[in-house]
Amino acid sequence: NAGVTQTPKFQVLKTGQSMTLQCAQDMNHEYMSWYRQDPGMGLRLIHYSVGAGITDQGEVPNGYNVSRSTTEDFPLRLLSAAPSQTSVYFCASSRAGAPQETQYFGPGTRLLVL
Amino acid sequence: AQKITQTQPGMFVQEKEAVTLDCTYDTSDQSYGLFWYKQPSSGEMIFLIYQGSYDEQNATEGRYSLNFQKARKSANLVISASQLGDSAMYFCAMRGPNSGYALNFGKGTSLLVTP
């Protein structure tokens, strides 16, 4: 099992450009989520999904879109990048059900918006 | 809404000593989970330990234990016999029935283990 994979590992964008951060998991997990990590802020939830075709907003969804067409993939789209979106982005997945199910994190994507 | 508070931005501990990292939480949910993650300088998120809201005994995983005081809404992480490799950021997180069981994180505590 590869677990949770994220691509790219690092990306530089110019303000206004768009891009998609890829996330895939091979554990057949129902739940997937995207977080961003800024210095001194911990991780904050952007969007999450409880299954294919079902997504919802988290704490900081503005400027980001998601879709979940398959169980395995959960891409995060930046429609028009802004310097405020410079951050480290983590994707995570877990099995459905009770709170004790551990979330498995991908290695992260470092994004710099100039 | 859930809230996690970690009041120690940074901590120092000498090698082989024990250290306690504080975490308090606030939630109206009856069923929830509390997690601790370690983030070394390489950046990955490493799961350490879990405590369920209905668990009567404190969770332990090797050198890690969770001091769970439900009435006080605290879930402190205790690391025994600290090692140099324990130097990292430590995050407390809570998970409940909302938001697809996604985690709600505290701001973290930076731990430095000295020789």
Q: What's residue B85's pLDDT?
A: 97
From residue B9, alpha-carbon distances to B5, B12, B40 in Å are 11, 11, 15
**Digit-coded pLDDT (tens) for A65-100:** 999 999 999 999 999 999 999 999 999 998 876 666
B-chain CB neighbours of A33 within 8 Å are 99-100, 102-103
Question: Taking 90 as the threshold, does the pLDDT of residue B62 lie above it?
Answer: yes
Chain A interface, Cβ < 8 Å to B: 31, 33, 35, 40-45, 48-50, 56, 58, 88, 90, 92, 94, 96-105, 107-108
Residue B33 sits at φ, ψ, to 5 deg, of -125, 150
- Bridge-based pairing of strands A10-13 and A64-66 is unpaired
Count Cβ atoms within 10 A of the Cβ of residue B39 and give its class: 0-12 exposed, 13-18 middle, 19 or more buried.
buried
Q: What residues of chain A lie within 8 A of the CB of B33, using their CB?
A: 98-100
Best mutation target among B27, B101, B105 (most A Cβ atoms within 10 Å) is: B101
As a residue count, chain B comes to 115
User: What is the reported pLDDT for A99?
Assistant: 60
Report the relative pairing of strands A104-105 and B3-5 from DSSP bridges. Answer: unpaired
